[in-house]
């Protein structure tokens, strides 16, 4: 999501931290909605999973997807897909690009993504 006047400023990644990006505007909106409903949980998820690959893939994150949901294509590469449980139903899904140290959030919402139904 492009920065706009009055929008939040995200801290830049330092050292081995991953740069966190939204895949699209819908994901950015889902992040905001999730933050309004469970701000403390979303903040904990961000702090526990943001900085490095070790933290992104910590026990609080999961790749236990059914079928082929454990990976996805992005810019011609197949990347690992992870999910983080923010609330009982709220989830964040993200792809990890180790080459660019980027975590691309592909889903953020208060309910289970429909792909897992």
Range of the domain at 71: 19-109
Whole-prediction pTM: 0.80
Question: Is 6 a domain residue?
Answer: no
Would you state the pLDDT for residue 64? 58
Region 68-97 average pLDDT: 87
Residue 90 belongs to some domain of the structure: yes
Report the C-alpha gap between 51 and 45 in whole angstroms: 11
Q: Which pLDDT does position 40 carry in this prediction?
A: 94
d(CA 32, CA 71): 25
Across 79-84, average pLDDT = 86
Residues 112 and 54: their CA atoms lie apart, in Å, by 25
- Residues 21-74: tens digit of each pLDDT: 899 999 999 999 999 999 999 888 877 765 555 555 555 556 556 667 878 888
Residue 38 in any domain: the answer is yes
Q: What is the CATH number of the domain that holds 58?
A: 3.30.2310
């Amino acid at each position: 999501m492009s920065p706009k006047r009055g929008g939040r400023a995200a801290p830049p990644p330092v050292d081995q931290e991953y740069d966190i990006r939204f895949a699209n505007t819908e994901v950015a909106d889902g992040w905001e909605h999730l933050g309004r409903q469970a701000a403390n949980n979303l903040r904990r998820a961000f702090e526990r999973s943001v900085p490095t690959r070790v933290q992104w893939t910590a026990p609080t994150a999961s790749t236990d997807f059914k079928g082929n949901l454990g990976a996805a294509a992005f810019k011609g590469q197949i990347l690992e897909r992870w999910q983080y449980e923010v609330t009982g139903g709220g989830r964040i899904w993200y792809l990890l690009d180790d080459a660019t140290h980027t975590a691309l959030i592909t889903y953020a919402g208060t309910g289970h993504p429909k792909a897992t139904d």
